[in-house]
Structure 1
């Protein structure tokens, strides 16, 4: 039998992710595929860097946890096609979370309004939700 978690345990697990990463996390959108794990060296060109709101995720509910507040940048760092994201502690160097990034409706772990970045363009993160096991 597969181990199953109660909704309360799933929610606590998800809320602990935001607590471990901390307030005002740094999100970097990068080109290409994500590294093998968050512990691996960064890969790809940084096309955008955002400081997320101090409370950047809503409280977990029903085994999911969604972005909170507005995640946008008025001027991207460089030109390129977004391929993955990494979320760092506020120090900007300790990576804790990574995943794929696609345009809205593209099925990525995180979605943006446009994956083709031009240096200086504005953009918005349109979707990001964490889902606990067996939710």
Structure 2
């Protein structure tokens, strides 16, 4: 599928607005081990490894590419394991999207500072970019 830059930008802006939606807290990125669920809204049985907070506005968009604003570190990971995927919750805790997560050089949509998370250890997302369909 190919989209014009204008359509790519509209889709990216819609995603950002959905992440920034709500008023209770900041949007959250939850990082999990295991396999990403086949569809959203299912009970998650994978282990929650880490939780990181986004800014309330979450990200910026340029020509259909979403780049996350600075993401707060998790200074004490919930559990240890190899991160495989992440979900983003809006400011009211509703699911917005799932992304791949990995360590440096893994080619994931979210790159963490380490390939394996250590329980109670620090976790940082060093980059996070989503590109909406090519032109």
Structures share a fold, TM > 0.5? yes
* Whole-angstrom distance in 2 between the partners of 1:117 and 1:6: 39
- Residue 126 of structure 1 aligns with which residue? 126
| Structure 1 residue 113: Cα displacement | 0.9
| Structure 1 residue 123: Cα displacement | 1.8
Partner-residue secondary structure (3-state), 2:63: coil
| Structure 1 residue 98: Cα displacement | 0.6
Tell whether the 8 Å contact from 1:27 to 1:86 is kept in structure 2 after alignment.
yes
Q: How many residues align?
A: 131
RMSD over aligned CA atoms reads 1.7
- Alignment partner of 1:14 out of 12, 15, 21: 12
- Residue 62 of structure 1 aligns with which residue? 63
- Residue 79 of structure 2 aligns with which residue? 78
* Whole-angstrom distance in 1 between the partners of 2:45 and 2:10: 31
- TM (norm. structure 2) is 0.86
Tell whether the 8 Å contact from 2:85 to 2:100 is kept in structure 1 after alignment.
yes
Gap runs ≥5 in structure 2: none
Q: Which has the higher strand share?
A: 1
Q: Are 2:34 and 1:32 aligned?
A: yes
* Whole-angstrom distance in 1 between the partners of 2:91 and 2:52: 11
| Structure 1 residue 82: Cα displacement | 1.1
* Whole-angstrom distance in 1 between the partners of 2:67 and 2:130: 6
* Whole-angstrom distance in 2 between the partners of 1:15 and 1:86: 18
- Residues 56-92 of structure 1: per-residue CA shift (max 9 Å, x gap): 211x112211111234211111122211111112233
Partner-residue secondary structure (3-state), 1:72: coil
Gap runs ≥5 in structure 1: none
| Structure 1 residue 26: Cα displacement | 1.2
- TM (norm. structure 1) is 0.86
